[in-house]
Structure 1
Amino acid sequence: MAVSLGRELVWFSDATSGRLEDLQFVLGQGPALLSEDATDVREVPDLERLLAQQWPQYAAEAKGLGVAALFVWPVHIGALQVGTMTGYRRTPGALSTEQSAQGWLIADALAQHVLNHWPSHSGGDDLGHAGAVELHRAVVHQATGVLSVRLDVPLAEALDRLRAHAYASGQSLTAAAHVILEQQLPQDTR
């Protein structure tokens, strides 16, 4: 499972769910990106059938991670959609009615918990998982600014170049951003 508020990843349960969210941000495609003002669960019960359709790059990458099905619940605070909760499984198939209902309960509870504890403080994680993050993509935005200045290009183009580099190198977007920022440190501080 992973929870994103807006485009900011705020919690993920394991490396695969974190990578799935990162891929959506890098590629600009995936089921959670189309969930604006959604009121229903977005189900992708069989990624294999999706490979040549709506999100070919994302589906191929997710399949490479061993993911066969994806499910996205909108996260609401009152009537306002503030993000998404994405779940996956390694076998294809639709959710049962009970699983879908339980997903809604988890999305509501987890979203409230994340909102109550994020950003909490600079150390530790209140959720008890390695995936609890504070401003996960802040480093991406910082690296985008560095690239914009270094390459003398607009911010949007700098972000596109960072995304392309991350995808081409097989790195997560945050790992690629860290490399860019580390290149900016003076020699004696590395």
Structure 2
Amino acid sequence: MAKLYYRYGAMGSSKTANALMVDYNYYERGKKAYLVKPKIDNRDGEKIIKSRMGLERSCDFLEHLVMMNDEEIKEYDCIIVDEAQFATKEHVEFLVHIVDDLGIPVICYGLRADFRNEPFEGSLWLMAWADRIEEIKTVCWCGKGATCNARIGEDGKIVRSGDQVVLGGNDKYIALCRKHYREGNLGHDAQS
């Protein structure tokens, strides 16, 4: 029975690397996975998914998937969505349709919350509707589990307000445990 999976984690938890490994596993078994990401995510190029550790693969846009007819979608054995936090409620409803009506598993990877520790629209609906919710873990500088995504400003301090979406990697974000996120402690003093 097909399921809708939401595999979430803080920045740097290897979500994209996991998505690319799952895609490769399908390929290795002679199966056809359809790898997509929301169009807003153009950090690594238009139709490219790239992990921090260098794994890279071409993909399509989630917005194209939702325009496909059911017969086109049935050509695939699995749908893999990277950066799923950027999906809309309507996109997630369509992913539910793929699972429930077409019997195709959908595996989504993304953030649970933004730099203010508030949910993204896609994350909110995936947390509500996914059949399986799994955390991909990473650690804070202190060694505790990191669950918060802190945005770092030009001054080297945590940013607490601004646009929800500002694309970036290690240059703009750091994963922290909740305590250090709340304190605004990036660990600079702890490392001396």
The answer to whether the superposition gives a TM-score over 0.5 is: no
More helix by share: 1
